[in-house]
Amino acid sequence: MKTSKRLITGLFLLCLLLFFSFVFSVSVGAVSVEFSHTVKILMNRVFNTGISNIDAVQGDIILRIRVPRVFLGMMVGASLSIAGLVFQALLRNPLADPYTLGVSAGASFGAGLAIFLSYVVGAFMKNFLPVFAFFGGIATVFIVYLLARTRGRIQVLTIILSGVVVSYLFSSGLVLIMALLGDRAHEVIFWLLGSLSGYHKWLPHAAGISIAIICFTFFFFQDLDLMALGDDQAKALGVNTEFVRILLFSTTSLVTAIAVALTGTIGFVGLIVPHSMRLVFGPRHKVLIPASAIAGASFLPLSDALARTLPGLIFGSSMEIPVGAVTSLFGSPFFLFLLMRGKKKYWF
Amino acid sequence: MGEAVHVNELTVHYDQDPVLKGVSLSIDEGEFVSILGPNGSGKTTLIKALTGLIHDIEGEVSLFGKPIRSYRRKDFARHVSFLPQDPPTTIPFLVHDIVMMGRFPYIKRFVTGRAEDREAVQRAMKLMRIDHLGKRHLMELSGGEVRRVFIAQAVAQESSVLFLDEPTANLDINYQVEIFRILEKFNREMNKTIVLITHDINHAARFTERVILLKEGEIFAQGEPVEIISMENMKSVFSTDVCIEYDGNNRPYILI
Amino acid sequence: MAAFATHTRRIVTEEKRVKCARAIAKTGRFICFLLFCAASVYGGTAVDTSGHKIHVPDHDFRVVSLSPGGTEILFELGVHEELVGVSDFCNHPHDFVSSKPKMGGFSTPNLERIQSVSPHVILLNTVVPISIKKQFDRLGTQVFVTEPKSFSELLDMIVQLGRLFNREAEAQALITEMKNEAGEVARHVETKSVAPVRTFIEIWYDPYYGAGKNTLAGDIVRLAGGKVVPESSTPYPRINEEILLTLNPEAIILGHQIDAAAFLEIHSNLVRIYAIRNNKIFTPDPDVFLRPSPRVVNALKEIARFLHPEAF
């Protein structure tokens, strides 16, 4: 079926939103930089148009601090949205999000372990925190998969339950670490709150992998559509459900683990962006996959921009609200609005 | 007419309990077969084994002479359709999308939107008289219309063998008759091989040409309806006394 | 005659009353005097850095110190036997603290163990959560908060501790020594150097936390010839990367241990800052710099030398 004009317009609007999100997020921050300066700095970086009378500090603020942060936000937003979308399709469960298989619990545990070791073994361990977090996330998915295998096959309900149990297990491990850390537990808490600052040096590699995986996922849009019919019928129509599940769970868990390793646990995005896109564009994954990726990539940097500037505007303080709080605060009403409008023809 | 499906000594266990014990049967191309039996006799398990949905089996199942294990999934799906007992009705797809899903075995991963697929979907929807429902949501339709949509999906699949699990359960009488008439048409005009499970013995007797009666995981009897649907067999298999009458075509029907 | 008698009786009653009252007043004053003597003989009273009054008997008192700085001060004041417990983080002087039972961390003190030694007073810094403080209140144990916000407040605190533990002479000696050393540093810096160096005291990173001028650390830097940025009345302001970049401090003093490579990596967005470009970064021993203890003058000397090498 030809993708209708309406859908194409919708996607185009989303791209505009992405562009706006980028420009807006880069233009606001704790230090106010004139918009014309921002534009000049960006243009110069891309097209070498020259920045004669602009403070080098402002250039640093825009290019070294804000732009990487926005790119990271775009990457993580897209990754979490796609992961949420795929999990919802594969598990046929509207409450599924990227952390259903326990990735966040495992990654948090890994991060906590790295922080703990930095006190016990040596401060250099902190550099490996993203690595620990990443492998913690991957390990949990692996364990969940092993637990959920019955007679060589995976049942949907078993996977969800295994994910819940393993999450609890790793969360308790994390709580234990925090108790052992005692007065220094605040480091773990900072990490758990989730933030887009820091660890930008891994960004190019992480982004490359994430984009590759998102594109790869796109080619399974038909399989994802058919999974909605149920395992039996999907199989009867020729979908290799076992293989598709394992493959897509692995790739999306990988992408989620990367996101969490770099930014901590940012919730809500992976749950709400796919549902919002479904309400607007319908259930076909051929459209949903690009739409969710673009929407997620716009939503997170915008939320982060608000997180960085709202405390200054409202309270006059230079505090930053954790970005996860902003995504829920502003995302929930928007989602409820969409839900009220479209709930007739929606899921379940 | 060649042999479509051949089963040899099929045994299936569920956690040590045998659900099917040494079942052997064969179904020719173009046959219209029904599988009857009480709950727990293994009907659904038999169909799932025949459609490759259950792997853990002993014995052989072959399709057109080749063991079904040797077929690739998509390949197998071009020959065999399966309509499960309760097709999902609460999914948000449009009718057109659902029918198009039947084309999956023919669509390569990186290619979409071919004319032949669109035409096959159109034909299937016309045949099932749901072409006016194309843009409607599945959730808005009645039970009978939903079944027609999924049968259209099977038609779009262009398979020569159709397996259906209780296609008329919970439907109004008009829909029940309609669906059997459609299946009859597939069988007579398009030479499709049809195997269905039903609880409705009268329908099976009226429309199908061969009845396979299962009891406790084994084939109790199989043959023409007039032979199989007898008072002794009903008493044996279903533990109930019934009265049986015969219509003008010598087909049995049960009076309660 | 009867009237006169009544009148006389009234006068006599009056006189008796007055005499009684005077006697009572005298006794009262005497008792007060006794009590006062008793008080001055039996125990010391002091005011801690948050303004609370604490009282402790002169001899046979027991004190637990959950403040590493407090422990060092107690050692210098000669409060040895009476110190019956220290925190996990008290580490100086080594031999002194290793013989003392450990009572837990700042937010995880072992309440049972503390209770078992029945201290009269516990020395605490403000990192301790309010819930723990409330526990101590409920148990009736006094708490002396050791959080001076400047060098002079630190000297005051030492005097108060001296008063509290009947070591006033030692306290005076200690603060005189500290005042002299600090004074010498200040003189060097004033006479031989040009202007205060704009300094950022980095307490933590990611997110960045600094020390403001209303902290002991901030005051030490001021005395050493530095000007603390950002100018905030918050003791430990949280500061944004962008703002730090704009502030462009000339020197950075680290309040945490980190190796050079990791520092550069974490601050990679801020390499334009004067302090980083010219490698004007210094890490004093945090045990000496960030503690309210007599050793803070050592930190003062080191920092002065770092900020104004031309003056030494």
Q: Which chains touch B (3 or more CB pairs under 8 A)?
A: A
Q: What mean pLDDT is predicted for residues A215-235?
A: 92
Q: With a cut of 80, say whether residue A199 has pLDDT above it.
A: no
Kindly state whether B74 is in contact with chain A, defined as any CB-CB distance less than 8 angstroms: yes
Calculate the CA C151 to chain-centre distance: 9
Tokens of A290: 């690009």
What pLDDT does residue A346 have?
57
Kindly state whether A176 is in contact with chain C, defined as any CB-CB distance less than 8 angstroms: no
- Please report residues of B whose CB lies closer than 8 A to that of A152: 55-56
Residues C213, C227: Cα–Cα separation, whole Å: 8
Q: With a cut of 90, say whether residue A100 has pLDDT above it.
A: no
CA distance, residue B13 to nearest chain A CA (Å):
12
- Helix (H) or strand (E) holding B223, with range, is strand B218-223
Residue of B nearest to A226 (CA): B101
Residues A137, A261: Cα–Cα separation, whole Å: 8
Residue of A nearest to B140 (CA): A345
Pairs from C230-234 (Cβ < 8 Å, separation ≥ 24): C230/C200
Residue A348: pLDDT band (50, 70, 90) is: very low
State the average pLDDT for chain A. Answer: 86
Cβ distance A1 to B118 less than 8 Å, yes or no, reads yes
Tokens of C9: 């009786």
Kindly state whether C241 is in contact with chain A, defined as any CB-CB distance less than 8 angstroms: yes
CB contact at 8 A, C253 and C305:
no
Q: Which of residues 82-121 of A touch B (CB under 8 A)?
A: none
What pLDDT does residue A212 have?
95
Cβ distance C272 to A61 less than 8 Å, yes or no, reads no
Span of A21-30, A53-62, B27-36 with lowest mean pLDDT: A53-62
CB contact at 8 A, B215 and B236:
yes
DSSP A104-135: HHHHHHHHHHHHHHHHHT-GGGGGGHHHHHHH
Residues C284, A145: Cα–Cα separation, whole Å: 50
CA distance, residue A88 to nearest chain B CA (Å):
13
Residue with tokens 């430990």: C236
Tokens of C312: 């030494």
Kindly state whether B13 is in contact with chain A, defined as any CB-CB distance less than 8 angstroms: no
For the entire predicted model, the pTM comes to: 0.82
Between A60, A65, A126, which is nearest C262 by CB?
A: A126
Q: What mean pLDDT is predicted for residues B4-20?
A: 86
Task: Provide the CB-side half-sphere exposure for B40 (13 A, CA).
Answer: 4
Kindly state whether B44 is in contact with chain A, defined as any CB-CB distance less than 8 angstroms: no
Substitution target from B16, B50, B69, B91 for chain A, most A beta carbons within 10 A:
B91
Instruction: Starting at the earlier edge strand, list the strands of the sheet with B57-63.
Output: B17-28, B3-14, B57-63, B66-67
Cβ distance C266 to A198 less than 8 Å, yes or no, reads yes
Short-list A230, A277, A328, A337, CA closest to A85? A277
Q: What mean pLDDT is predicted for residues B102-130?
A: 88
DSSP state of C67: -
Residues A254, A260: Cα–Cα separation, whole Å: 10
Dihedral of CA B70/B73/B79/B85: which sign? positive
Q: With a cut of 60, say whether residue A345 has pLDDT above it.
A: no
Between A229, A284, A286, which is nearest B88 by CB?
A: A229
Residues B58, B215: Cα–Cα separation, whole Å: 19
Kindly state whether C110 is in contact with chain A, defined as any CB-CB distance less than 8 angstroms: no
Peptide bond into C230 cis (omega under 30): yes
Neighbours of C10 (CB within 10 A): 10
**Could you report the average pLDDT of every consecutive run of 10 residues in chain C (312 residues)?**
62 69 68 55 76 83 91 91 90 89 83 87 82 81 89 92 90 93 87 83 87 92 90 86 89 86 83 90 89 92 89 77
Alpha helices of chain B — where are they, by DSSP H? 43-50, 73-79, 95-101, 115-127, 143-156, 173-189, 201-207, 225-228, 231-238
Residues C308, C66: Cα–Cα separation, whole Å: 35
Span of A228-242, A245-259, B100-114 with lowest mean pLDDT: B100-114
Between C127, C243, C272, which is nearest A60 by CB?
A: C272
Residue B101: pLDDT band (50, 70, 90) is: very high
Dihedral of CA B130/B136/B142/B143: which sign? positive
Q: With a cut of 70, say whether residue A1 has pLDDT above it.
A: no
Residue with tokens 């079944």: B147
- Please report residues of C whose CB lies closer than 8 A to that of A190: 206-207
**Strand A153-154 to B3-14 pairing:** unpaired
Torsions phi, psi of A96, nearest 5? -70, 145
CA distance, residue A3 to nearest chain B CA (Å):
9
Strands (E), chain C: 44-47, 53-56, 63-65, 83-86, 121-124, 142-145, 197-204, 208-210, 226-229, 238-239, 251-254, 281-282
Cβ distance A284 to B74 less than 8 Å, yes or no, reads no
Kindly state whether A5 is in contact with chain B, defined as any CB-CB distance less than 8 angstroms: no
Helix (H, G, I), strand (E, B) or coil at B210: strand
Kindly state whether C207 is in contact with chain A, defined as any CB-CB distance less than 8 angstroms: yes
Kindly state whether C78 is in contact with chain A, defined as any CB-CB distance less than 8 angstroms: no
Residues C212, C208: Cα–Cα separation, whole Å: 13
Span of A92-101, A129-138, B146-155, C105-114 with lowest mean pLDDT: C105-114
Neighbours of B192 (CB within 10 A): 23
- Please report residues of A whose CB lies closer than 8 A to that of C265: 127, 201
- Please report residues of A whose CB lies closer than 8 A to that of B87: 229, 233
Residues B204, B179: Cα–Cα separation, whole Å: 12
Q: With a cut of 80, say whether residue A16 has pLDDT above it.
A: yes
What pLDDT does residue A82 have?
96
Q: With a cut of 80, say whether residue A120 has pLDDT above it.
A: yes
| Interface ipTM | 0.88
- Please report residues of B whose CB lies closer than 8 A to that of A153: 55
Torsions phi, psi of C220, nearest 5? -60, -45
Amino acid at A61: I
Kindly state whether C50 is in contact with chain A, defined as any CB-CB distance less than 8 angstroms: no
CA distance, residue A98 to nearest chain C CA (Å):
26
State the average pLDDT for chain B. Answer: 89
Cβ distance A346 to B96 less than 8 Å, yes or no, reads no
Q: With a cut of 60, say whether residue B1 has pLDDT above it.
A: no
Residues A74, A97: Cα–Cα separation, whole Å: 18
Taking each helix axis from N to C end, the angle separating A5-27 and A35-47, rounded to the nearest 10 degrees, works out to: 110
